[in-house]
Structure formats: structure tokens, C-alpha cells
Amino acid sequence: MTNDALINALSHLISEDRNPDTMDIDMLPSLDIVQRLNQQDKLVPLAVEKVLPEIALAVDRITQAFQVGGRLVYMGAGTSGRLGILDASECPPTFGVSDNMVIGLIAGGKDAILKAKEGAEDLPEMGEQDLLKIGFTDRDILVGIAASGRTPYVIGGLEYAHEVGATTIALSCNPDSPIADIANIAICPVVGPEALTGSTRLKSGTAQKLVLNMLTTASMIRLGKSYQNLMVDVKATNAKLVARATRIVMQATDCHQQQAQDTLKKTDYDVKLTILMLLTGLGKEAAKEKLNLQHGYLRKAVIDQAGKTDNN
């Protein structure tokens, strides 16, 4: 795309408009600046609220993909790419899943995570190549993330994913975007012009972070990764997470700290198994079998065991 064409394209994007509420921001003291930024940030969750039906539909598709061994793949450039990588990297410790279940791809590769690689996003063929490298198939889900909705790298990835028959999701902050036209599901929280014109790491980035949080958290809940509102597949890989696992067991069962710690040790710090043993009185192997029968859904395992106890 020529420079003139690119300037023309940007001039039609809501995220590139000048914000009338911050025209004097360069003349303000620090407190007034952060107040203006905060006022703009308050608009973000309201914009996300308007697209909850589309987010829920995406969660259904992602859950279905996970259930058949598919992966969730995020793809973006710059801030959008980093947000996808952030969300993907937090899934294994939070939900106890493989680090291959949710994958984040960024234009320019790993080096672009810490330092901007100018021009890396301009080649649509790189999006396809990055998907080929991870063996992307029709069982997987691709979420293309681009605040502008027109990043060539993301467009290339979405077009390839569409060709192989995978479900595609577009996450942008500008309506009627090119990536929305390609994707099966378009999620577009319109947050309006940024406080600093064009700095889409602000409101647009915040909106993207909220949506990505919802996509993985809701999908993992649908897979049975929670008991009530407790994250019971957390991996106790450091001192803080051991303490958190202990507290989760105590909250779920109303047991004392020592009992929680002792039972966690017996299960090799399997929080879900520990809770089931304490709530039902089952031994370790019987509790494992019960969880397996319920495909890892702790709430269903507890209810099933309670029903059998009542019948006896």
C-alpha cells in the first residue's frame, strides 16, 4: 500500500480520530492528565459490554475446539501481539493446561515481544508462514487481533486459517474492518478516539485485554477448570502458588490449614483431587476415578458422589 493510500485508510479509522476531550492535555498538570486518562478508560468496559454476545459465541467455539484437542492461537502485531502472548502465557499456571493449548504469535517473532520490529507487520505472507510453523489445522481456532482491523500480518493469517477450514475470530476496535470481513466471528468494542491520537495501546489495548481475558477464562470454566469461583487446576510451582493452592482448598472445604496441606501432599498438590477427597471422604484412587468419570468436572463429581451417598 502506498503512503498516500495508507494515510487515507487511517483517516477513516475511529481509533485514529482526534479526541475532543483531550485537546489541551499537553497543558495540564499531572493530576489533571491522569484524570483525563481515567475518564477515557471508563468508556472501555461499556464498549466491551456491547459485544458480549459475540464474545460468548467465540467462547462456545473455543470450548468446542479444546474438547477435540484443538488449540487457541492468537495472532497480532505490536501491542496486539504482546497482549495475545500475555494471555496465552498465563493459561498454563492458572488452569494447569499445556503451554501448547493457547499460543500467541507476534509479527517479527520472539524478538518483537520486547522491542518493536518496524515493518514486520506489513507482510501478509508472514502470517501464513507463522501458522504453518506451528502446524495449524482446521481443529484449531485463530483469533486475529488488530486495533485498526487492517494489519496485513493478521489478514494473511486469517485468510490462511479460513482456507484450511478453521474457525476464525477477529478482534478489532474499528467497525467494518478488513479482518472482520474475513473472520467467522467479529468482536469489535468501539472505544472511540484515544487520549493520545493513534496510541492504541491505551483504550484499544485495554479493550483487547478485557476480551482476551474473557475468551480464555470463560472457555476454561466451561471445561471444568473451576469449582464454584475457585481456580482448582492451578499448578503449585512456587511458594506463592503453594500458598494459594492451600487457601483454595481451605475455601472450598472449610478445612483447617494443616489438613489442607497434609492432603495436598498426598495428591502431589493436585488441588481438584484434594478438594474432592476432603468433601467426599473418598480415597485418592477412588477420587481420581470419580473425576475421570466426570471428565474432570469437580462440581459434577461432588454432586454425583453426594447422590450416591444419599441413596445408600
Give me the amino acid identity at 194.
Answer: E
DSSP-assigned states of every residue in 77-100: STHHHHHHHHHHHHHHHHH---TT
What is the CA 33 to chain-centroid distance, rounded? 30
**Is 121 tagged catalytic?**
yes
Give me the amino acid identity at 148.
Answer: S
**Is 128 tagged catalytic?**
no
Active-site pick, 16, 121, 128, 194? 121
What DSSP element (H or E) covers 102? strand 102-106
Alpha-carbon gap, residue 93 to 226, rounded angstroms: 14
Q: What length does the chain have?
A: 312
DSSP-assigned states of every residue in the chain: --HHHHHHHHTT-GGGSPPGGGTTGGGS-HHHHHHHHHHHHTHHHHHHHTTHHHHHHHHHHHHHHHHTT--EEEEESTHHHHHHHHHHHHHHHHH---TTTEEEEETT-THHHHS--TTGGG-HHHHHHHHHHTT--TTSEEEEE-SSS--HHHHHHHHHHHHTT-EEEEE-SSTT-HHHHHSSEEE-----S-SSTT-TTTHHHHHHHHHHHHHHHHHHHHTT-EETTEETT----SHHHHHHHHHHHHHHH---HHHHHHHHHHTTS-HHHHHHHHHH---HHHHHHHHHHTTT-HHHHHHHHHHHHHH-
Active-site pick, 90, 118, 194, 285? 90
Q: Which residues are catalytically annotated?
A: 90, 121
